[in-house]
Structure 1
């Protein structure tokens, strides 16, 4: 950081390569998020945030997580999660119940209808991810891309403001590695 006589230090600018890489990432993230949300709504009557919540719960012991843990895993504000769970509860996809491990906390619980909706949505979502993300990518680049993404994620965890999320428990059908 360089000193600023009128205030806090000014961080160095991104290099041209860093800036180009960042813009490429932003284009992919924004467009892919749009396409995934559109596909899920069209094919399964789920939004991408619905799918994210259902996945996180399906990936948790007994299909339940304390709200704080779920908010951390999704990187959502607690109020956003609470409002979203209300809408999902009204549709029968999740329930809220007293925590199984802490009577002062509340758990989000995956319902049978939520699990069925996730199971029905996963093949179409997986197909879209394969077509949009992997089919145009040289398979030889996958190990380097995965390493880079894991390194960036670790930096976000180290320097971010949220606690480190719990580790995933299992893989969902259709999202496991190909044979």
Structure 2
């Protein structure tokens, strides 16, 4: 007798669909604001924000890719666009000759400063405004262990690269 496929109960299914819809609606609004104000994609904003939040203004490319959950090749392309625009510089890592370090420039910090107020306004208005403070604390308390569980597996950069043609 064939084993029946795993299924989600109605509560699980509802929670999953609600989470996906909220994430999609929020991301769409955020992406629209970033494009209009700074001509940035969401991933480019994430990179600038992580660099801008770093005490040194720098991160290794691999760490950035793992942090924003983006492919190494995709991140290389996005960092190249940001570098071409003068928002970041890429240099060989001082710690590891195989690594590249990305550093935010003054122009990158200025653009981040330009888009951040509107970004905060969109996130606050759509995500936080309808929630009471206790609900917000509960949401953070629910999402943190899920995120930690998802991040408990080795990062994508630890996975072996596929050979071309395989």
TM more than 0.5: yes
- 1:145 counterpart residue number: 139
Residue 75 (str. 1) matches residue 69 (str. 2) = yes
Shift of 1:161: 5.1
Retained in 2: the 8 A contact 1:92–1:111?
yes
Shift of 1:157: 1.2
TM-score w.r.t. length of structure 1: 0.81
Distance 2:82 2:24 in 1: 24
Give the secondary-structure state (helix, strand or coil) at the position aligned to 1:65.
Answer: strand
Distance 2:63 2:94 in 1: 13
Retained in 2: the 8 A contact 1:157–1:163?
no
Q: Between Structure 1 and Structure 2, how many residues are aligned?
A: 158
| 1:3-14 aligned within 5 A | 5=2, 12-14=6-8
| 1:104-123 aligned within 5 A | 104-123=98-117
Retained in 2: the 8 A contact 1:94–1:114?
yes
Residue 93 (str. 1) matches residue 87 (str. 2) = yes
Unaligned runs of 5+ in 1: 165-179
TM-score w.r.t. length of structure 2: 0.87
- 1:35 counterpart residue number: 29
Distance 1:160 1:150 in 2: 18
Distance 1:132 1:32 in 2: 7
Greater Cα offset, 129-138 or 21-30:
129-138
Give the secondary-structure state (helix, strand or coil) at the position aligned to 2:108.
Answer: helix
Which residue, out of 39, 46, 61, partners 1:52? 46
Higher share of residues assigned helix: 2
Retained in 1: the 8 A contact 2:58–2:104?
yes
Unaligned runs of 5+ in 2: 159-166
Distance 1:121 1:93 in 2: 13
Distance 1:132 1:91 in 2: 30
